[in-house]
Structure 1
Amino acid sequence: MSKHYLSIEGVNKFFGQGAKQSCVLKNVNLNIKKGEYISIIGHSGCGKSTVLNIVAGLLPATDGVVILDGKEVNSPGPDRSVVFQNHSLLPWLTVYENVALAVNKTFKKTKTAQERHEWILKSLEMVHMSHALDKRPAEISGGMKQRVGIARALAMEPKVLLLDEPFGALDALTRAHLQDEVMKIQAEINSTIIMITHDVDEAVLLSDRIVMMTNGPEATIGEILEIDLPKPRNRIEMADNPKYNRYRQAVLRFLYEKQRKVEVLTSAEKPKSTQASLKKAASA
């Protein structure tokens, strides 16, 4: 049994059958500590969301296993909450009712009605949405909708919060405000978070480690970068921080230089695996 809080062990994922079968993920291995903020970054089609969906229990792995807090993940569960790029709120319910739906389902047997009510209010307070309890999704902005989605996910008290490009559809200013909110919330409740992103600055600002995926097919983890910067992080201060900028450059170098070398080697030498190709590229 894994000693890590969350372990992704030897995960492969194939889609299709027979001659049309394709390998999307190959030998993905990742160990995550409790309270870590992990970002997964890579080009489109590299299997980032597939990894997230396997951890969420929304997709089965073809091979390998995901273990969370000593238990194998093989289906969705309240111990893993997902926030997607689109808020997915129910339009006929108010802000309060959208969060209440998750809280009542998760804690019906363990919290009294009053305790559930207080926890719904606390969850919305964490994302600064207490003023909009009675509004419906059509009456609030896109950023507010995403705040409610995050509140709903956190209200389930998940062991792992899974964020699939949660800020991708927002304007730059709203995105920055929500990133700051997520940083504050994680500092307050020590959530374990896995976030999918295309944004290098977002990954460096928020993460303890950045997991960089190689391009598909047969995508795998190419490199893992530890971000040794004190928290909480101030985005204005980080802009002039040499260490921050070195981390940013390291991610860009992998995405646009090392990954290109991998593709060249794969084409010219046809190594046995993407991981073998990556090792050759990294030492070049």
Structure 2
Amino acid sequence: MSAYLKIDHIDKSFARGGAATHVLADVTLTIDKGEFVSIIGHSGCGKSTLLNLVAGLTRVSAGAILLEGREVNEPGPERAVVFQNHSLLPWLSVYENVNLAVSKVFAGKKSRAERHDWVMHNLDLVQMAHAKDKRPAEISGGMKQRVGIARALAMEPKILLLDEPFGALDALTRAHLQDAVMDIHARLGNTMIMITHDVDEAVLLSDGIVMMTNGPAAHIGEVLEVPIPRPRDRIALASDRSYLKCREAVLKFLYERHRFVEAAE
């Protein structure tokens, strides 16, 4: 049985003037359908570049990315991205921001009434239906991210890509949104890939954690399986041995990589 998503020996370099920067080197990874995978590593290790390659926002220099056996080489609605910056259009309401994506993807496939119901369904998923008529300036940062997630989910993506989606939020809002994402993943069974700098977040949310070596020419150093049953309770996990063991493994990897950086300076 072939992998749902296969990242097959990819390299990525960027050229500027006469110089080339080798960002990723020989990255290979397989992700199963419905799996939640986090990518973690120090700044400059190519995490966002890897996510952008899966999204089709930039093309690989070598190797291939295959989704259900088809090569990824351009953006598509089957791979929706939620960025750290919510990127909502400020002149549109919450409803209109989500409807924009729905109309683009489902024009000719769903009637106007069906598209309306689908927008409201996805706003309900992120508990934002009550704010459908508000504009982005009238809602909080956490609420904006909820709308961004609703807009991405409304495209019915095969893979939801999360680029540090909670990085700009306060701790309490971040925790609430983590719980919301866990609930959505449990209800919908989406395949999710998330970039994060937060070790606790990675362990809490993920089935597997991909740990990147330092750049340039970064590659996958380790892949850690998180053998914690779902649903997960963040309070109970605080003293859970499996959680603590996973957390320790990621911290040890990152600490060792930081020592390599210091030794090179």
- Report the TM-score when normalising by structure 1: 0.90
What code does the residue aligned with 1:193 have? M
The separation in 2 between residues aligned to 1:32 and 1:262, in whole angstroms, is: 29
Does the Cα contact within 8 Å between 1:214 and 1:259 map onto a contact in 2?
Answer: no
User: How far is the alpha carbon of 1:32 from its aligned partner?
Assistant: 0.3
Q: Does 1:39 align with 2:38?
A: yes
The AA in structure 2 aligned to 1:140 is: I
User: Does residue 70 of the first structure (1) align with residue 69 of the second (2)?
Assistant: yes
Structure 2: gaps (5+ residues): none
Matching of residue 196 in structure 1 with residue 195 in structure 2 = yes
- TM-score under structure 2 length normalisation: 0.97
Q: CA RMSD in A?
A: 1.4
Pair member with larger Rg = 1
> Is the counterpart of residue 92 in structure 1 residue 91 in structure 2?
yes
- The residue aligned with 1:271 is none
Q: Gapped runs of 5+ residues in structure 1?
A: 268-284
Q: What is the alpha-carbon distance in structure 1 between the residues aligned to residue 256 and residue 72 of structure 2?
A: 35
Deviation at 1:44, TM superposition (A): 0.3
Q: Distance in 2 between matches of 1:125 and 1:78?
A: 21
> What letter corresponds to residue 226 of structure 1 in structure 2?
E
Q: 1:181 is aligned with what amino acid?
A: A
Maintained 8 Å contact 2:214/2:257: no
Paired residue for 1:143? 142
Following superposition, the deviation at residue 260 of structure 1 comes to 3.0
Q: Give the letter aligned to residue 228 of structure 2.
A: L
1:174-233 Cα offsets, whole Å, 9 max, x none, are: 000000000000000000000000000000000000000000011000000000001111
1:119 matched to 2:115? The reply is: no
Aligned to 1:240: 239
1:208 maps to which residue? 207
Partner of 1:23: 22
| Alpha-carbon offset, residue 114 of structure 1 | 1.1
**Count of matched residue pairs:** 264
Question: What is the distance in 2 between the residues matched to 1:136 and 1:161?
Answer: 24
2:114 and 2:262 map into 1 onto residues whose CA distance is: 55
For residue 9 of structure 2, what is the aligned residue in structure 1? 10
Deviation at 1:257, TM superposition (A): 2.0
Q: Please tell me whether residue 57 in structure 1 is matched to residue 56 in structure 2.
A: yes
CA displacement 1:133-186 (0-9 Å, x = unmatched): 100000000000000000000000000000000000000000000000000000
> Equivalents in 2 of 1:104, 1:123: separation in Å?
14
**Letter paired with 1:26:** A
Corresponding position of 2:176: 177
- What stretches of structure 1 move > 6 A for 4+ residues in a row? none
Give 1:24's aligned amino acid.
V
Conserved in 2, the CA contact under 8 Å of 1:13 and 1:63? yes
Distance in 2 between residues matched to 1:205 and 1:155, nearest whole Å: 25
